[in-house]
Amino acid sequence: MAREITGFSNPLVKRVRSLREKKFRKAEGLFLAEGLRILTEAREEGVLPEMLFHAGSTHPLAAELIAAMEAAGGDVIETTPDILAKISGKDNPQAVVGVYRDRLTPLAKLDRGKSDIWIVAQSLRDPGNLGTILRTGDAVGAGGLILIDDCVDPFSVESVRASMGALFTQSITQARWGEFMHWLREGPGELIGTSLKATHDYQEPRYQSPSFLLVGNEAQGLPESYEAECDLLVKMPMLGKADSLNAAVACAVMAYELLNQKRAK
């Protein structure tokens, strides 16, 4: 269904704008994604938004999105750049904004055999790091990202933007530590943590499949009790004055080591 909205006071504009806040995202089970690149990535994964807002863009990708929405009977709303800016919270909004149903996969429904590599993040706080880790997961063919304990919201505008579309290629799961460990030990899977206290260099072990790569909080790293439950603890060499890498960078280094070992087989 195509329609036009030009008034800032329109109830739908207010409702969609409220999705920038976590409590409203949680209540509605919806989130915002903006930009042709991200929305096109989603469409290529077979995911269309519940609602599509655009400001009369003539870009071919926008036309394809609009056509796909109309063919599926979706809600297409043409509006003004100012209203798009109000919805997205950006002074220079992207050409399109989509409203999507949240994409959480329950832990019990994860298929660990889908991939040799899984990423697990504990108490991650930065949306940029979360988005980058999703992109890394996509790049190495990971099965998905399992968020442990209280992490940043993966469906915040900032996290979605940082994921550059990987949000739609990776399964995302949230769980408490005990729940995750119970699930993990019910089937195959090696839990690999990184720690400055580890004695093994990260290239020394021969990792098993599936590998669950555990990334800790940006400031605190992994709690000692969590490290104790890992099957392997490894560290990356630090030859300069810095004592650690950014969490997302460390995750990428480790993920590619896992990938390269599995490619070598």
Domains of the chain: 2-101 (3.30.1330.30), 107-264 (3.40.1280.10)
Query: Which distant-in-sequence residues (6+ apart) come within 8 Å of 17 by Cβ?
Result: 86, 87
pLDDT at 198: 87
> Measuring CA to CA, which residue among 56, 54, 14, 49 is closest to residue 32?
49
Would the pLDDT of 53 be above 90? yes
Lowest mean pLDDT among 65-79, 158-172, 197-211, 232-246: 232-246
Show the tokens assigned to 144: 């998905």
Q: What is the pTM of this model?
A: 0.92
Q: Please give the average per-residue pLDDT across 27-41, as a whole number.
A: 94
CA distance 147 to 161: 18
CA distance 67 to 56: 13
Show the tokens assigned to 181: 């460990």
CA distance 164 to 42: 10
Distances (CA, A) of 178 to 65, 186, 225: 42, 13, 11
Residues constituting the chain: 265
- Indicate the residue type of 22: K
The helix/strand/coil state of 50 is coil
Q: What is the pLDDT of residues 87-142, one digit of tens each?
A: 887 766 668 999 999 999 999 999 999 999 999 999 999 999 999 999 999 999 99
